[in-house]
Structure 1
């Protein structure tokens, strides 16, 4: 635990090693399909994975005397794979609900805000100390991807009039507080991340337009208003090909919500919204 020291006095720190093992890294990478546990970005193509401690091992930003949850430094249930931007605190351009993404991206002098978890672990209750393993009294304000359902406290903005893909707090007051805290601490609305999610939503909207147009063409071919339908007519052959194309497009859309796809939680939310749109228009 922390203690007072004289100016210039060297402080010995514990060298944490077990959690850095290749076997741990490989297992976490496989468990989360090569994606950051917080933002769902595929990190492998751009940078190494950070092995992140949900409860920080060596210090707590919000409680300097605490000294960190050192007894959980190698606890499997406290380890998560993370991208550098979610795990390391640094200057980021953070997108707000009313921002224009293009204007933010073109701004030669963007306003940077500190984002990234590092040693942050805010709680609303009493912080656990002294090797305790019962954390029910802490009331952690950060969402744990392995124990919490993020959809309870977070929702994606699918409205094209505002930054699409922006994460917003959701639920009751407690859930919204946890959602807002997680968005801020993990930096889940940093510019590059929101831009990536926006591009995915635009692809999904295009595929949705394609599916709707294909369905309309199929209906027109299968139900001509005045022409007597004959078996194996050219129109029926075209309709069959269009059905295959429609079904293939739907399969492609659903693949964006697969566990190993980046931003799959947002894609799943969009697919539910799209299904509801189709149901209401039927």
Structure 2
């Protein structure tokens, strides 16, 4: 999950005043007060507009807001409500956040695996990155957000449009309001790359991380396997960059330069330098916000730089 600035693009016109959104909100309010016992469930349409879909795809670069998997060429996308519009799984007396059904800041693009609750194959891991033995075999568990919206024990749930949603203390992470790096981290072992996500931070932060991992299914088998393939590629490119840098250094030693002067090997170090730079560019490209799993690639690159940093010099 990656932090996204929703203000970087304009809200879709259909959800702004004068558009379909405000009009539909009024109709939804009227429907709720209609005493007819035979009335059918209200059908929301405004959030399904083409301009809303395009805005979300642009904002998240065609990736799921929760798992960062690219959906544009692989799977259908659900226009997901962060606060569910029709029901709340954790509170069977709550009728959903209907007044936010067409609110721009409540809409996110989600892949069907993150959004639709069903049995999935998940890796179960704890916050202890050194203990991943229990995660070697996936187990079948229910995952997918659907109508889930759990709150911390200190939260007070808003029950209508007059409620204060900021007092709810939501446990699920919102990539447009939260910095996921504060709550989630990745398992980076160069010898055994595994694209597993674990909760991190202070107890309250770790709780939000753990709940989000479970409900969104962020450690489902195919997702972890896909992230692991990226990690292995990053490790390969990182090792190649290190080896190329070492070869260049050896070729540019005075004795080596004298030995190959005037031979076809004289330009090898220049060609190796170009290859090293292209390798580093590939590593950097993986961290671009348009790339799949960019948050993981960025965290890996930070860890890779830390591994290359010289150890601190001991004080005399």
* Same-fold status (TM-score > 0.5): yes
Q: Check 1:176–1:113 CA distance in 2 against 1; reply closer, same or farther (3 A cut).
A: same
Q: CA separation of 1:221/1:26 partners in 2, compared to 1, >3 Å: closer, same or farther? A: same
Cα distance between partner residues in 1 of 2:216 and 2:113: 8
Alignment pair present for 1:82 and 2:110: yes
Kindly indicate whether the alpha-carbon contact (under 8 Å) linking 1:37 and 1:80 is maintained by their aligned counterparts in 2.
Answer: yes
Q: Structure 1 pair 133/275, CA: closer, same or farther in 2 (3 Å)?
A: farther
Q: Summarize the Cα distance change of 1:11–1:94 in structure 2 as closer, same or farther, 3 Å threshold.
A: farther
Distance 1:227 1:48 in 2: 57
Alignment correspondent of 1:71 = 99
How far 1:209 sits from its partner (Å)?
A: 1.0
Match of residue 145 from structure 2? 117
Which stretch shifts more, 231-240 or 253-262?
231-240
Tell me how far 1:24 sits from its aligned partner.
Answer: 0.6
Could you list the runs of 5+ residues in structure 1 that have no partner in the other structure? Answer: 4-8, 105-110
Partners in 2 of 1:82 and 1:164 — Cα distance?
23
Normalising by structure 2, we get a TM-score of: 0.80
The correspondence for 1:145, drawn from 149, 159, 175, is 175
* 1:252 equivalent among 278, 282, 289: 282
Aligned to 1:173: 203
Q: In the superposition, relative to structure 1, how do residues 46 and 226 fare at CA in structure 2: closer, same or farther (>3 Å)?
A: closer
Q: Is residue 165–residue 201 contact of structure 1 (8 Å, CA) maintained in 2?
A: yes
Change (3 A) 1:77 1:162: same
Aligned-pair CA distance for 1:232: 7.2
Output one character per residue of 1:67-99: Cα deviation in whole Å (capped at 9) or x when no partner: 100000000000000000000001111102335
Give the number of aligned pairs. 270
1:194 is aligned to: 224
In 2, the alpha carbon distance for the partners of 1:269 and 1:63 equals 36
Equivalent pair of 2:88/2:95 in contact (CA under 8 Å):
yes
- How far off its partner does 1:16 sit? 0.6
Cα distance in 2 between the residues matched to 1:80 and 1:166:
23
Measured on the aligned residues, the alpha-carbon RMSD in Å equals 2.4
**Alpha-carbon distance between aligned partners in 2 of 1:71 and 1:273, rounded to the nearest angstrom:** 43
Name segments (4+ residues, structure 1) moved above 6 Å. 229-233
Deviates more, 1:25-34 or 1:216-225: 216-225
1:204 to 228, 234, 250: 234
Q: Residues 215 and 184 of structure 1: is their aligned pair in 2 closer, same or farther, counting only changes over 3 Å? A: same
Structure 1 residues 276 and 163, CA, compared in 2 at 3 Å: closer, same or farther? Answer: closer
Deviation at 1:112, TM superposition (A): 1.5
Give the C-alpha shift of residue 165 in structure 1: 1.3
How far apart in 1 are the matches of 2:201 and 2:185?
Answer: 9
Partner of 2:185: 155
Moved more, 153-162 or 253-262: 153-162
Cα distance 1:234–1:80, how it changes in 2: closer, same or farther (>3 A)? same
Q: TM-score, normalised by structure 1?
A: 0.89
**Structure 1 position 96 matched with structure 2 position 124:** yes
